[in-house]
Amino acid sequence: MKKYKIETIVGIFVVLGLICVGYMTVKLGNVSLFGDSTYRLVARFNSVSGMRTGNEVNMFGIQVGKISKITIDQETQRAVVELKIRKDINIYDDAIASIKTEGLLGDSYLSIDPGGAGELLDDGDVIIETQSPVDIIELISKYAFGDVKK
């Protein structure tokens, strides 16, 4: 009888351990089990240098989403960035999406000015106004070699 008691206790600990591993996998992997709590927006840029899938989308300095996909539109020759935004965040059709850098040589992120004078953007809508990133290396080289105009 004592043998079965020890095996039962070990079995309970194994099951609890597997539940903990499963929970951490879902939480750390950003996996949604019971429906998606985000909606998709699209923004088109002339350049997305420094951007990667998984980078943050910020509004007022607060993370409100992530970049889910970066592709090229062959017809317009522009970069297409797909964003996953939290459903509780309202973004309007006069919003401006711009690519920024954390610090001088930091990681890139997408910053959104949400607008407010137009209509709300729905799942799959496009942010029309975009600003490509400033090329810091080009600016430094212009300054260093005297090509800066006053």
pLDDT in 10s for each residue of the chain, 150 residues:
677 888 899 999 999 999 999 888 877 766 655 556 889 999 999 888 888 998 899 999 899 999 999 999 899 899 999 999 999 888 888 889 998 888 766 788 899 988 888 888 888 888 888 888 777 777 777 777 776 565
**Residue whose token pair is 């420094």:** 50
CA distance 17 to 103: 41
CA distance 111 to 101: 10
Closest residue by Cα to residue 67 from 47, 90, 42: 42
Tell me if 77 sits within 8 A of 104, measured CB to CB: no
Q: Residue 77, Cβ neighbours under 10 Å: how many?
A: 8
In the chain, what are the domain boundaries?
1-31, 38-134
What confidence score (pLDDT) does residue 42 get?
A: 93
